Structure formats: C-alpha cells, structure tokens
Amino acid sequence: MSTSTSSAVKAPVPNSSALKGKIAVITGGGSGIGLAVVERFVAEGAYVFIMGRRQAVLDQAVAALGDNVEAIAGDVTASEDLDRLYARVKAQKGIIDILVTASGIAECASLAETGPEHIDQIFATNSRATLFSVQKALPLMSAGGSVVLIGSIAGFIGTPGYGTYGATKAAVRSYARTWSNELAGRSIRVNTLSPGPIDTSMFDNVSDELRQSAIDMIPLRRLGRATEVAAAALFLASDESSYITGAELCIDGGMAQV
C-alpha cells in the first residue's frame, strides 16, 4: 500500500515573516499543493484568502490555520464565484499583494478516447479559470505584486494519456510570458511554478507499480513533497525573487531537466 507525505492541515509555526503584512489569494487552497502553500504563507505572516469547492475542507483548513485565513467556497470556472471572492477581498482588505492559481484537475484520456466533454472540462478549469482568476484580481493588485501560476512539467514533456492536461499547462506557461510583459508597467511579476510528480492524495489510488515507475524516472529517486512546492511558491511570491518575471521554476527532482 502506498503512503502519502502530502501536507496535513496543521497550525503553522512562523519561520521568517517573509510575507508579513501581505495579502494573498490562493485558488485551490483547500487541499494538496494549494493547502501546503496556504500553510507556508500563513507561517510567513501573510493573510490568505482561499477559494475551493468543498466547504467542509475549507472549514477544516480555517479551523486549523487560525485567524489569518479566510475561505470562500466556490468554483473557479464560474465567473460569479470569482466575483464573490474578489468582492470579499476588496471589502475585507482592499488589496492583493500575491495571487497563486493552484486550482486544477488531471484526467487520463488517450488521443483515441478524448472527447469534447473532456477537452472542455480540463481547459475550463486549468486554463480558462486561470485567465479569469488573474484578470479579475488585477483591479486589486498592488504595484510590485506577484502572480504565481501553478503549471506542470506535463506542459513540455509528452505523457501518454495526459495530452489535454499537458496542453492546458502549456497554455498556462504561455500566459505567464505574455502577462509578465503586459503587467511590467505596474511592476507586477508573473511566474510559473511547475511541479513534477508530487506525493499528494492523487497518488493514494495509484498502484505500487505505477508509483515506482514514476520514481524511476526521477533522478532524485523519490516523489516530491507538497511542502517543497510551497517553499518554491514562497520564493516567487516574496521579495527574494524581485528581479524574476516571466520565468518557470520546475520542482521535479530533475525529471524533465536531465
């Protein structure tokens, strides 16, 4: 039986206050990589708004992480839900310093199996929702703000059965290049964070054989941890990366690099 080292909901212990006083919005922040990013940002002093679809999961995160987290249940593919999210942010804080788009889905379908519903669902969540999450945040984004788009190394490697997913992540990477130019006049940085295989709940139902097959393709010979992705997100969100925009940072144990 496989085990998971994904981030558990827990009260974070502040480390360095790298984001002290910052206001962050994280879509898909209720579980997996998104939740690990929320935990790290709160630990570093940020006030974080989360959007996710499952109210019970959001309530659990807020209860565990304390007063610096506020959750809004909603679907990032629904324009009215995004409007509710940003209306809440505007009413409560009036500004956004950091936006992380962590909402995403992955479903397996070969070329022969791919149909219109599959295409529409994956692109709506991974690409279209990313665009409108950023677009609707812009009126509240501060000068010098940071946008971190969660991509994937699937955007530039060919993974059988995940052609549509890879295409959506390639689109996200392309958005980062364009938006970093478009928003440079406001000193808003846009970067892509692209994980490789990360040991989150999506691996819980994967066979030991498939799990080991993935590990064998990684030079570091292990799956990544959600906390490692969160550390990279912190770097891109903070002033430590103040001269970085339009870039892609891969957290993949070398899988797509060597």
Burial environment of residue 112 by CB neighbours within 10 A (0 to 12, 13 to 18, 19 or more): exposed
| CB proximity list for 99: less than 8 A, separation 6 or greater | 24, 25, 26, 133, 134, 137, 141, 145, 146, 147, 148
Q: Which of 84-88, 154-158, 241-245 has the lowest mean pLDDT?
A: 154-158
CATH (domain of 219) = 3.40.50.720
Res 14 pLDDT > 90: no
Say if residues 82 and 74 touch (Cβ distance below 8 Å). Answer: yes
Query: Is 191 within a domain?
Result: yes
Of the residues 47, 86, 162, 165, only one is catalytic, namely: 165
Predicted confidence (pLDDT) per residue in 159-217, tens digit: 889 999 999 999 999 999 999 999 999 999 999 999 999 998 777 767 788 889 889 99
Say if residues 146 and 189 touch (Cβ distance below 8 Å). Answer: yes
Say if residues 105 and 125 touch (Cβ distance below 8 Å). Answer: yes
Res 156 pLDDT > 80: yes
- 143 vs 124: CA distance, rounded Å: 29
- Give SS3 for 75: coil
Global pTM value = 0.91
- 181 vs 188: CA distance, rounded Å: 9
- 23 vs 142: CA distance, rounded Å: 10
Query: Is 131 within a domain?
Result: yes
Query: Is 15 within a domain?
Result: no
Hey, which residues does 195 pair with through a beta bridge? Answer: 251
pLDDT at position 126, please?
96
Domain count, the chain: 1
Res 6 pLDDT > 70: no
Predicted confidence (pLDDT) per residue in 32-83, tens digit: 999 999 999 999 999 999 999 989 899 999 988 988 999 999 999 999 999 9
Query: Is 189 within a domain?
Result: yes
Query: Is 228 within a domain?
Result: yes
pLDDT at position 209, please?
85
Q: Is 86 an active-site residue?
A: no
Domain that includes residue 139, residue range: 23-251
Query: Is 10 within a domain?
Result: no
Query: Is 165 within a domain?
Result: yes
Predicted confidence (pLDDT) per residue in 79-125, tens digit: 999 999 999 999 999 999 999 999 999 898 999 999 999 999 999 99
Query: Is 9 within a domain?
Result: no
Give strand ranges (E) for the chain: 23-27, 47-52, 69-73, 96-101, 141-150, 189-195, 248-251
Q: For residue 15, what pLDDT band results from cuts at 50, 70 and 90?
A: low
